[in-house]
Structure 1
Amino acid sequence: MNQKKVTIHDISRVLGIDSSTVSRALNDSDRVTKKTKELILQKAKELGYQRNILASNLRTNKTQTIAIVLPRISRYFFATVIAGVEQIAQEKGYNVIICQSFDSFEREKKIISNLISNRVDGILISISMETSNYDHLKSYQSFKNPIVFFDRPCNLENCVNINIDNFRASFLATEHLLQKGCKHIAHFSGKQNIELYKQRKNGYLDALKKHQIELDESLIFESNLSEEDGILMAKKILANPKIDGLYSSNDTAAISAIQYLKSEGIKIPEDIAVVGFNNDPIAAVIEPSLTTVNQPAFEMGKKASSLLISQIEDKSTVNQSFLLESELIIRESSNKK
């Protein structure tokens, strides 16, 4: 037999308290005294009352839900960002929807369309490698809901960007290889429609310039920085015996390149010194361990979630950028004697 769902009117009748007062108490209104609120909450618990979330959402025009859109959950960096986002969201009473674009622009557009239909209160996003048009995000903004970009910055108006100083981190990573005696440093670059990878490439270029190393465009390889891309680019490195250093814009491509180069008899770091970016957990345990740039992913997630929820609740729009600290972690892969 189906048990009848308890309503605020049932609580009102049992306690002899007006239903509007019961409703205010259940919504933690300051207009109800602490003693009365405690009485109502206790009786609601005894009777097995459950709030009608859908009705509440319709009244407030809020769903208490935010979404995070990112390339791949399988990447340690993004998984750690999610953990930071969810910690703050839970504290603030928000649910989190997690969506993967798999670095596909078309998939990202469909995700945003679905999130509009589901009326999420705000979106955190690290755009796909293919994204260069932001009309789908402007469409979401037209509903007066905020967007916060993390990791991969975007120049969309009335948005917050949270990342690290990618130019400086990249400069220091490249300079480290130069200080180790490398003269011909290859660079694994991400797609240049993404501001993040522009900044990392520019940091690489500026380090070469500072140390008076002539630029060789043939040493720059652009890709999606997947494992497969790392192997393909490593094969190109083998075709140029001058290359004695490699700076990769992520650890994924750097690690697959190291594994392939080792299988071809190349010694790391004696023949080619390598630096990656992200500080994935595997970077510390591969042989040799990978020198890499550490990003504060958990803090990035917390900061992004906190700023998004703040905008949702005070209905503000901002156009700000926040830079978090990064660190070059030196390990065996760049330790040329």
Structure 2
Amino acid sequence: MISPCEMTLHLSGISVHCSTTNLPQLKEKVNITIHDLARELNVSPSTISRALKDHPSIGAATRKTVKELASRRGYRPNAMAVNLRNQESKTIGVLLSWVNRPFFGNLISGVEAAARERGYNVIISQTTERTEVERFSAKTLYDMRICGLISCLSIHTLDYEHFDQFKRINTPVIFVDRVPMNYTAHKIVIDNYQAAYDATNHLIQEGCIKLGHIGGSLKQEIYSDRLRGFKNAIKDAGLEIYPGLISQGEHLALEESQRLARDILMKLPQADGIFCANDTTAISVMQAAKAKGLLVPQDLAIIGFNDDPICQIIDPQLSSVYHPAYEMGKLCVENILGEMASGTGDGSKTILQAELRIRQSSRKKSA
């Protein structure tokens, strides 16, 4: 039998004698409670609780003694227990598909900045585009007694019943970017239709006449609005719409974007301008065009959407629609606090304007 204090390891024929006699013993992590503090000071737990809250019924000397002991012992109040007792919290929940995408990172930054200014915390849950995870996470956040929820829907979410639990107890729910089409709650979006119209019109002004579009799932309003803006810009210019040059994906992540990019460049007629619903897809089109021997923008002008940082790094630099995610995040918090103060939500929609940022990838005339 191996002694708990000594053992010999046989490694490649070499015996190594190890002793644990002189190793420091790891301390078991203990959560200090007000009951522990009460026992040590020989007072009631309610006295400890009142002293920590500076209750006037507790003398100044006792409050000082209790706080000093709590500090030495590393006491921390259980925030969730406090929320359950008070039936309220200072925590805003954020439910979104990804945290490792530039748009969502900027959105979260805006949420946290606005929440911190007002003394609120933020808890974030990532759904990875899975509706079942979204439902589970919504219930988890509900059980944590959050004071408001910000949600950017999973691409596959078409049933919104998991948000009803918040509405039943008047907890504000704000939808941002990917919003439900038929659900009463405040929504914060950009003018996706106008953004797509302006991007497509820019390609037309640069001389493009055979235009293509790669968009996301039409089950989501943002992508259907972008497709509508793309088509109407072509109609208003008196040009022909080529259905074969319009492709719809789902969430437009890298692998899907690369496949759609290769596919659209194999179709006839050969597009001379392509508007993409995100920058990952636009860059995938650019790479596929180069692999095919096409020049960007001389042979193919390209515009993306979101204006991710990589747009200014890739060669040629990518024209893209700037998406004010940070500002949208701040507005979400402002609307949550507004609904908390008023006790009601009006189910209205806040629409922000996007901005087309023109770079080399779409400047066909000056190339």
Q: TM-score, normalised by structure 1?
A: 0.86
Pairing 1:227–2:254 present: yes
Q: State the distance in 2 between where 1:235 and 1:57 align.
A: 53
Pairing 1:286–2:322 present: no
Aligned to 1:276, the other structure's residue is in SS state strand
Aligned partner of 1:237 in structure 2 is: 264
1:123-272 alignment to 2 at 5 Å?
123-224=149-250, 225-239=252-266, 240-272=268-300
Shift of 1:20: 9.7
Letter of the structure 1 residue corresponding to residue 261 of structure 2: A
**Structure with more contact order per residue of length (Cα contacts < 8 Å, sep ≥ 6):** 1
CA deviation map 1:118-162 (0-9, x unaligned) = 332221111111112212222442333221011123245441111
Q: CA RMSD in A?
A: 3.1
Aligned partner of 1:95 in structure 2 is: 121
CA contact (8 A) 1:25 1:40 kept: no
Aligned partner of 1:303 in structure 2 is: 331
CA deviation map 1:193-228 (0-9, x unaligned) = 101111111111110111011222111100022222
Mark the CA change 1:38 to 1:90 in structure 2 (over 3 Å): closer, same or farther. farther
**Which segments of 5 or more consecutive residues in structure 2 lack a partner in the other structure?**
1-26
Aligned partner of 1:29 in structure 2 is: none
CA contact (8 A) 1:163 1:322 kept: yes
Aligned to 2:282, the other structure's residue is in SS state helix
Shift of 1:241: 4.5
Aligned to 1:318, the other structure's residue is in SS state coil
Aligned partner of 1:105 in structure 2 is: 131
Shift of 1:116: 2.5
CA contact (8 A) 2:307 2:320 kept: yes
**Which segments of 5 or more consecutive residues in structure 1 lack a partner in the other structure?**
27-31
Mark the CA change 1:3 to 1:94 in structure 2 (over 3 Å): closer, same or farther. closer
CA deviation map 1:26-70 (0-9, x unaligned) = 6xxxxx7xxx99999877654437545344312320132221111
Larger C-alpha radius of gyration, 1 or 2? 2
Q: State the distance in 1 between where 2:262 and 2:234 align.
A: 23
Pairing 1:82–2:114 present: no
Aligned to 1:96, the other structure's residue is in SS state strand
Letter of the structure 2 residue corresponding to residue 236 of structure 1: D
Query: Would you say how many aligned residue pairs link Structure 1 and Structure 2?
Result: 328
Bigger helix fraction: 1
Mark the CA change 1:37 to 1:211 in structure 2 (over 3 Å): closer, same or farther. farther
CA deviation map 1:85-140 (0-9, x unaligned) = 11122222322221122222222222223223333222111111111221222244
Mark the CA change 1:241 to 1:320 in structure 2 (over 3 Å): closer, same or farther. same
The alignment-based identity, stated in percent, is: 34
Aligned to 2:108, the other structure's residue is in SS state helix
Q: State the distance in 1 between where 2:351 and 2:59 align.
A: 44
Q: State the distance in 1 between where 2:257 and 2:358 align.
A: 21
